[in-house]
Amino acid sequence: MEVPTQSSDLQAQLSAWKGEVDNVRGSLRTMRSRLEEMAGSRQANHERMVEIEHFQNQFIRQLEVADEMFHDLKQSAKFMGYGRPAIIHHDRPVDDYDRLNDRMQVFHKLHEELKGDFSRFESFR
C-alpha cells in the first residue's frame, strides 16, 4: 500500500481509520444486542447457550481490540502532530504507518469473519 506523504494526508487517513473503528464498535453493539435477545428466548437450550456465550466472549474481546486500535490511532495522530506520544506500546507501534495499516487490515478481516460467523449462527434460530 502506498504511504501518504503529506502530514494532512496522514491525518486524514488516521481520521478515516478512527471512523472505521467506531463503525465496528457500533456493529458489535448491535450484534451483542441481538445476541442478548437470543439468550432470553425460550428456544435457548444448553447447546445454544454455549454458543451464545462463545459469541459474547468474542464480542467482548473484539471491543477491547477496537478500543486499543482507537487509542493507538489517537496516539499516532499526536505523534505526527506534536512529537512523541506520552505512551508508547512497543507491541503496538503508533509511529509506523505500514504496521498501523497492517493492523487495520487484520482488524477488518477479523471483524468480517466474526460478522459472518454470527450471521450464520443467527440464521439457525
Whether 1 is covered by a domain: the verdict is no
pLDDT in tens, 11-26: 888 999 999 999 999 9
73 or 88, which is more confident? 73
Query: In the predicted model, is pLDDT for residue 63 greater than 80?
Result: yes
Phi/psi of residue 42, nearest 5 degrees: -70, -20
Whether 111 is covered by a domain: the verdict is yes
**Containing domain of residue 73, as a range?**
7-123
- DSSP-derived 3-state class of residue 69: helix
Q: What is the pLDDT of residue 32?
A: 96
Whether 116 is covered by a domain: the verdict is yes
Q: Which residue's C-alpha cell is 477488518?
A: 108
Distance of alpha carbon 125 from alpha carbon 112, whole angstroms:
21
- How open is the CA angle 118-121-125, to the nearest 5 degrees? 130
Mean pLDDT value of segment 104-121: 96
Whether 2 is covered by a domain: the verdict is no
Whether 70 is covered by a domain: the verdict is yes
Instruction: Give the least confident one: 65-69, 79-83, 111-115.
Output: 79-83
Phi/psi of residue 86, nearest 5 degrees: -65, -35
Q: Which residue's C-alpha cell is 509511529?
A: 95
Number of separate domains in the chain: 1
Whether 23 is covered by a domain: the verdict is yes
